[in-house]
Amino acid sequence: MNHTHEDSDRFTRRDVLAGAAAVVGAVALPAAVRGQAGGVGKIVKNGRIKQSICGGCLRNTGLDREQTAKLLVEMALAGRDLVGPNDWDVLKKYDLVATMVPGAGSIKNGLNNKAIHPKFMEDFKANIKAAAQYKWPNVICMAGDRAGISDAEGMDNCRTILVEAVKIAEDAGVTICMELLNSKVDHPGYMCDNYAWAFELCRRVNSPRFKMLFDIYHMQIMEGDLIATIKQNIQHIGHFHTAGVPGRHELDENQEIYYPAVMRAIVETGYQGYVAHEYTPVRNALESLVQAVKTCDV
């Protein structure tokens, strides 16, 4: 994820930006996208990767929540990612999944800052409960910027709150996912920016209800070695994000990651979670989504 704002703002903005539409039912498509969407149909054929989308994949299409849900059903996608409660009832109506919802912490002010732990625990309690009520699988959390905190201290601080939060998550059947982000390009100073730190934190928390959100875009920038790392650490990975490197755009031939091979590696591990697209298209959004879905439907 390429987050540049706090969680509350992030989900509100994504709600506004999100959208796509189906051509089924009574919901009309805006004229600007009617032609492209008319022939979309079912795109997922194999279904071994359960795919969802973030709002940015279909920004500027003018499509509302209802239309978005209908399009996802038509394409045979699993649901939407990084969505707040305003979207949940529509997703339920169409038997879709909110594959990642709010948890606690932001990129700048995350779980490594123990001064904010009381607030974060309240956020975890409320957001895990809300996710469980809707049977959503995952809530997100962030490590926070280093900001003078050593990686060792930051890990201790994160572990302290997470060992308490996972008790709630275990009871609720919800998984807390901390996102790996790059600190080279998008998020200078972010602590959870490397494999060693991230997976060691998972080992120290030692719960099946705490895992990493492995953003393939971010980790290609930081360390690469995607396939071997995923295979070796899949037990610590609860969710994936995609985007092209460099630029965070389409999953096409203009970027350096060969996504079919990465997706096949994920399938081979037996992974049962979701892969959410989080790129920003630079061409027709619906055409780009069709291409991304086909690329990952290995």
Q: What is the CATH number of the domain that holds 65?
A: 3.20.20.150
What percentage of the chain exceeds 70 in pLDDT? Answer: 87
**Predicted local distance difference test score (pLDDT) of residue 2:** 47
**Position 1 in a domain:** no
Residues of the chain with pLDDT under 50: 2-28, 31-37
**Position 2 in a domain:** no
**Position 44 in a domain:** yes
| CB neighbour class for 256 (10 Å; exposed up to 12, middle 13-18, buried from 19) | exposed
**97-120 confidence digits (pLDDT tens):** 999 999 999 999 999 999 999 999
**1-42 confidence digits (pLDDT tens):** 544 333 333 433 333 233 333 333 334 455 444 444 455 899
**Position 150 in a domain:** yes
Looking at the structure of the chain, the number of domains it has is: 1
Which residues have C-beta within 8 Å of that of residue 155, sequence separation ≥ 6?
Answer: 112, 197, 200, 201, 204
**Position 65 in a domain:** yes
Show the domain range for 18: 7-296
**Position 112 in a domain:** yes
Does the pTM surpass 0.85? The reply is yes
**Position 154 in a domain:** yes
> What is the DSSP code (8-state) at residue 180?
P
